[in-house]
């Protein structure tokens, strides 16, 4: 056997251990495996590399990506992340721990999850938050199942057509296999249409409605009257939100929602080709006992010291098995730490400023693009923050290619033939000017 850095046993150790066990060789440890299943071929894998070789391998591989200035969003936003965040999440006491099963030696993880839950509740205005989930779209799917589990004799969940396509497709997939019918709440004039929604609700079979706080056109939706209509039909109201924007847009609680879900990525998590991110889910306290995932609670220990534990575990799969509301086992703990440290550094003022800067940049780009004469307004006078759509008067593919060839990523096509742009506080006025110049050429 070749020595290898991750295996700390010497030949002498292996021999002594085999002796204690009472077998002659490592192969004897597999005497219970039928011989035909012992793999005798050669694994089709590369030769082992040294660290130096691995480094240069990845440096070369990374060169095959083209770095672009990001002017798009659609569910993943290129926000600034303070240096402290990466530094804290790299601490191996956090990084190399597992789910805090032994609370006495996991108070670090348990405390930051408690803080995370507090931060999510502060942003959404909800009473309770779980310890986090995989990502926004799967959190929305879990919310759909929670709607079904919390209502009686209902068969449908409605999705606003203003939700981002990756959310809709994920929720539809879960619905299909779980046996839930999906209905749609159409968008009229850039916003989920309340009268169309009421018509659907009047059929009496709706368990819940999932609405975008900010829709896929970047428009901040007005949900006045939605809560009354949805609750009047004995259904649950779910808001899918960008948690960063919640610093300035009406919170799910202010709209009267029962459940808030979304992706925590805009809170300082790198875009990183789509993951890892973190889904959040918070709800009114009535739904606490059906909330999926881990939850951390505060208590005291034998000596009266303030302590934190995983709580209300009777909801979960390891106790309820097939009767659990969800199969979710872990959480995205480290990404929840990302969110927690980020929100602690930014505070209410920092988050407000992030929105201010992003919005100012987005409006500047919006006006500059219009002034090129190559776009038309689609939803004039509708409020937006960092993301918007325009109707291009040039072929979309051509526009996208031009941007790409000049180092920009933007003008994502929507199904209606619009293009969307997003601007964060990381973009500068000069970068925006440069992008507009490319469009003009």
Partner 1 sequence: MKYYDKLIFEFSKEGNIGYSLPRNRYSETPLLPSSVAREAPLPLPEVSEVDVVRHYTNLSQMNFGVDTGFYPLGSCTMKYNPKINEEIAAMPAWNSIHPLQDEDTVQGVLEVYYNMEKSLAAITGLSKFTFNPCAGAHGELTGLMIMKRYHELRGDSARKKIIVPDSAHGTNPASAAVCGFEVVEVKSLENGRIDVAALETLLDETVAGIMMTNPNTLGLFETEIKEIATLVHKAGGLLYYDGANMNPLMGVVRPGDMGFDIMHLNLHKTFSTPHGGGGPGSGPVGVAKHLEACLPLPHVVKGEDGKFHIEKENGTTAGKVSGFMGNFGVILRAYTYILMLGKQHLRSVGQLSVLGANYIKESLKDVYKLPIGGVCKHEFVFDGLVNDGAHDDVPGATTLDVAKRLLDFGFHAPTIYFPLLFHQAIMIEPTETESKETLDSFIEVMREIAKEAAEDPNILHEAPHNTPVRRPDETAAARNPILKYQDAI
Residue 39 in the binding site for partner 1 (CB under 8 A): yes
Distance CA 391, CA 295 (A): 45
Provide, rounded to whole angstroms, the least separation between the CB of residue 265 and partner 1.
Answer: 9
Considering only the stretches 155-163, 200-208, 240-248, 387-395, report the one whose residues sit in contact with partner 1 under the rule CB under 8 A.
240-248
C-alpha dihedral, 281 to 283 to 285 to 291, nearest 10°: -40
| Residues facing 191 on adjacent strands | 188
The secondary structure of 331-379, three-state, reads CCHHHHHHHHHHHHHHHHHHHHHHHHHHHHHHHHHHHHHHHCCCEEECC
| Residues within window 98-137 making contact with partner 1, judged by CB under 8 A | 98-109, 111-115, 117-119, 121-123, 125, 128-129, 131-132, 134-137
Provide, rounded to whole angstroms, the least separation between the CB of residue 354 and partner 1.
Answer: 7
Residue 11 in the binding site for partner 1 (CB under 8 A): no
Answer for which of 56, 188, 204, 306 binds partner 1 (CB under 8 A) is 306
Nearer to partner 1 by Cβ, of 211 and 233: the residue is 211
Nearer to partner 1 by Cβ, of 152 and 302: the residue is 302
DSSP state of 384: B
Residue 299 in the binding site for partner 1 (CB under 8 A): yes
Nearer to partner 1 by Cβ, of 202 and 313: the residue is 313
| Residues within window 163-222 making contact with partner 1, judged by CB under 8 A | 166-167, 169-170, 172-174, 176-179, 220-222
Provide, rounded to whole angstroms, the least separation between the CB of residue 103 and partner 1.
Answer: 6
In degrees rounded to 5, what are phi and psi of residue 128?
Answer: -135, 145
Q: Are strands 296-300 and 306-310 parallel, antiparallel or unpaired?
A: antiparallel
Nearer to partner 1 by Cβ, of 17 and 199: the residue is 17
Distance CA 377, CA 370 (A): 7
Residue 35 in the binding site for partner 1 (CB under 8 A): no
Answer for which of 155, 234, 404, 414 binds partner 1 (CB under 8 A) is 404
| Residues within window 242-271 making contact with partner 1, judged by CB under 8 A | 246-251, 253-254, 263, 270-271
Q: Which two tokens stand for residue 266?
A: 């805009």
Tokens 């879990």 map to which residue? 142
Q: DSSP states of 165-231 as a string?
A: HHHHHHHHHHHHHHT-EEEEE-EETTEE-HHHHHHHHTTS-EEEEEEESB-TTSBB---TTHHHHHH
| Residues within window 409-438 making contact with partner 1, judged by CB under 8 A | 409, 412, 425, 428-429
């Amino acid at each position: 056997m070749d020595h290898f850095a991750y295996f700390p046993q010497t030949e002498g150790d292996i021999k002594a251990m085999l002796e204690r066990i009472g077998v002659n060789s490592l192969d004897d440890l597999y005497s219970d495996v039928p011989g035909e299943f012992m793999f005798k071929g050669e694994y089709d894998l590369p030769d082992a590399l040294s660290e130096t070789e691995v480094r240069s391998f990845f440096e070369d591989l990374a060169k095959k990506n083209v770095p672009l200035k990001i002017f798009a969003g659609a569910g993943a936003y290129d926000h600034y992340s303070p240096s402290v965040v990466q530094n804290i999440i790299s601490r191996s006491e956090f990084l190399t721990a597992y789910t805090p099963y032994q609370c006495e030696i996991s108070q670090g993880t348990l405390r930051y999850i408690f803080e995370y839950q507090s931060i999510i509740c502060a942003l959404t205005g909800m009473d309770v938050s779980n310890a986090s989930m995989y990502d926004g779209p799967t959190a929305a799917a879990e919310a759909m199942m929670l709607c079904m589990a919390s209502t009686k004799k209902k068969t449908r969940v409605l999705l606003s057509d203003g939700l981002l396509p990756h959310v809709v497709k994920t929720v539809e997939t879960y619905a299909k296999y779980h046996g839930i019918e999906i209905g749609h709440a159409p968008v009229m004039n850039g916003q989920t249409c309340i009268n169309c929604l009421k018509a659907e609700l009047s059929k009496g079979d709706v368990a819940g409605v999932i609405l975008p706080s900010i829709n896929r056109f970047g428009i901040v939706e007005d949900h006045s009257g939605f809560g009354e209509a949805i609750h009047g039909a004995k259904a649950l109201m779910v808001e899918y939100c960008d948690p960063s924007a919640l610093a300035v847009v009406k919170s799910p609680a202010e709209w009267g929602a029962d459940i808030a879900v979304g992706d925590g990525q805009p809170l300082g998590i790198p875009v990183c080709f789509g993951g890892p991110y973190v889904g959040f889910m918070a709800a009114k306290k009535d739904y606490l006992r059906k909330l999926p995932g881990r939850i951390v609670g505060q208590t005291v220990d034998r000596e009266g010291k303030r302590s934190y534990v995983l709580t209300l575990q009777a909801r979960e799969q390891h106790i309820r098995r097939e009767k659990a509301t969800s199969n979710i086992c872990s959480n995205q703990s480290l990404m929840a730490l990302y969110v927690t440290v980020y929100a602690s550094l930014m505070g209410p003022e920092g988050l407000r400023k992030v929105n201010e800067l992003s919005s100012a940049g987005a409006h500047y780009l919006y006006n500059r693009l219009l002034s090129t004469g190559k776009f038309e307004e689609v939803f004039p006078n509708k409020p937006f923050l960092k993301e918007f759509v325009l109707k291009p008067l040039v072929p979309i593919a051509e526009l996208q290619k031009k941007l790409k060839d000049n180092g920009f990523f933007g003008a994502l096509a929507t199904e209606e033939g619009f293009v969307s742009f997003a601007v964060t506080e990381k973009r500068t006025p000069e970068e925006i000017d440069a992008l507009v110049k490319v469009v003009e050429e």
